[in-house]
Amino acid sequence: MSADTWRIGKHEMSSRFFLGTGLFPSPLVQQEAISASGAEVLTFAIRRVNLDAVEDDSILQHIEPGAFIFLPNTSGARTADEAVRIARLARASGLSDWVKVEISASERTLLPDPIETLRATEILVREGFTVLPYISDDPIICRKLEEAGAAAIMPGGAPIGTGLGILNPYNIGLIVEEAGVPVIIDAGLGTASDASLAMELGASAVLMNTPVAKAKDPVGMAKAMRMAIEAGRLAYVSGRMPKKRYASASSGMASLIVK
């Protein structure tokens, strides 16, 4: 197979694994997990500096400068205006003009608010951001986000941090089928088979944080996810056999020695 690369904006990538940077047990484990994942894109959140502990390590001190594309998110935002404000702050860092629009409408489920997400995407696209909205697995809202200029669409497999896997493979398949921009499965995955299924359904990439960071061995899980993503992608590209209702023998019945 020739180099199976893909792109968002001007960035051509070979890894199909976006890795989050929250919840890791230590900076060292995080660094090793990043390395094992092969990820080229890392996600971050934007929060206030703790002015009473300014000497505390910035997370960026542990990340090799220039080696990754940074994808800051707008987590914590409840409206489009809040998300736009966070996105502008993130871009002012000079580190990235990519933004993951994440606007939660429910504290319990953290499910995205589709109306506000669409509004924020429209505004940020106009302002020249590379916008990757996190959204529900609804094919229609995904289409509308693409029409609004999203550089990729990122439907969730299940609510953030649940590890429930892909709850609606039919919808994800439909989203992939209809999308003209990369589809990245974001949120809700739990283990390697979930990542593999996402890729077998035709996703361009997978974004994960909790299933790696909260695994017993995050470095081992980062590697497992990387392999699952590669396996799922190769299976998708190679084209699986059709499912059949009844058995069909591998050797046929001709020249059988028993009658």
What are the catalytic residues? 100
Task: Identify residues 211-250 at the interface with another protein (CB under 8 A).
Answer: none
Spatial neighbors of 107 by CB under 8 A, at least 6 apart, are none
One-letter identity of residue 218:
P
| Cβ atoms 121, 148 nearer than 8 A | yes
**Pattern 177-196, another protein, x by CB under 8 A:** ----------x---------
One-letter identity of residue 256:
L
- Which of 80, 152, 180 lies closest to 122 in space, CA to CA? 80
**Strand, coil or helix: 202:** coil
Q: Does the annotation flag 5 for ligand binding?
A: no
Q: Does the annotation flag 235 for ligand binding?
A: no
Residue 115 in contact with another protein, rule: CB under 8 A:
no
Spatial neighbors of 59 by CB under 8 A, at least 6 apart, are 21, 27, 44
Q: How far is the CB of 205 from another protein (least distance, A)?
A: 14
Nearer to another protein, 30 or 121 (CB): 30
Residue 46 in contact with another protein, rule: CB under 8 A:
yes
Distance of CA 23 to the CA centre of its chain: 16
Write phi, then psi, for 42 (nearest 5 degrees). -120, 140
Helix axes 218-238, 192-200, angle to 10 degrees: 20
Write phi, then psi, for 110 (nearest 5 degrees). 55, 20
Residue with tokens 């974004």: 207
State the Cα–Cα distance between residues 29 and 34, nearest whole angstrom: 9
**Strand, coil or helix: 155:** strand
Q: How far is the CB of 48 from another protein (least distance, A)?
A: 5
Nearer to another protein, 120 or 139 (CB): 120
Residue 17 in contact with another protein, rule: CB under 8 A:
no
Q: Does the annotation flag 188 for ligand binding?
A: yes
Residue 88 in contact with another protein, rule: CB under 8 A:
yes
Among 1, 67, 92, 249, binds another protein (CB under 8 A): 92
Among 80, 90, 135, 229, binds another protein (CB under 8 A): 90
Nearer to another protein, 92 or 256 (CB): 92
Size of the site for another protein (CB under 8 A): 37
The angle formed by the CA atoms of residues 201, 150 and 134, to the nearest 5 degrees, is: 60
Residue 72 in contact with another protein, rule: CB under 8 A:
yes
Q: Does the annotation flag 163 for ligand binding?
A: no
Residue 67 in contact with another protein, rule: CB under 8 A:
no
Residue 89 in contact with another protein, rule: CB under 8 A:
yes
Q: Does the annotation flag 161 for ligand binding?
A: yes
Residue 93 in contact with another protein, rule: CB under 8 A:
yes
Sites of contact with another protein (CB under 8 A)? 20-24, 30, 43-49, 51, 54-55, 58-60, 70, 72-73, 75, 85, 88-90, 92-95, 160, 187, 207-210
